[in-house]
Amino acid sequence: MILLILAILFLVSSILAFIFALSWLILLLIYKAPYVKTPPAAIDTILKNINIRPDELVYDLGCGDADVLIAVGKKFGCKSIGYEASPFPYLRALLNIRRNKAKSEVYWRNFFKADLGKADVAFCFLIQSLMPRVGVYLQGQLKPGARVICYGYPIPVWQPAQTIDVPYTSSKIYIYQH
């Protein structure tokens, strides 16, 4: 009986792992960007090096599980909005926001179709090949004075106002003033 239960558990977990891997591959092919969690060290570095007023609006482009949105909202008391195109990270974001009782909102949408004109701060942790397109999009969307924070990869052609090394990694954070 115990062997049967273990076999069923193994089978179910194997099927779930296969579904997760297959969905991750499909999402990678559709959206061209995998879900990769922003490391806590990067979030801590951002929180220590940027000042956001409670009346400012922060957007996270490709917010994943909403860790950045939640952290920014908690520290600065500001409203934060995230866009996530992949369904599984989007669902995790909804759960994380609810669990943390955050003032954040998250939308299941490609941020390239979103109006970012009210953003005071835009954050992104995306793959390098997307950054040129992100730069062009933000140039046309953001209001003057808006700040852009990029983790991992810079926006080509844009000149960062500040570049910060993330402790214990080889990664950088790029802060731009639009």
**Predicted confidence (pLDDT) per residue in 81-103, tens digit:** 999 988 889 999 999 999 999 98
pLDDT at position 27 is 60
3-state secondary structure the chain: CHHHHHHHHHHHHHHHHHHHHHHHHHHHHHHCCCCCCCCHHHHHHHHHHCCCCCCCEEEEECCCCCHHHHHHHHHHCCEEEEEECCHHHHHHHHHHHHHHCCCCEEEECCHHHCCCCCCCEEEECCCHHHHHHHHHHHHHHCCCCCEEEEECCCCCCCCCCEEEECCCCCCEEEEEEC
Which residue ranges make up each domain of the chain?
Answer: 1-31, 40-177
The overall pTM is greater than 0.85: no
pLDDT per position as a tens digit, 119-164: 999 999 999 999 999 999 999 999 999 999 999 999 999 999 999 9
CATH topology (fold) of 40-177: Rossmann fold (3.40.50)
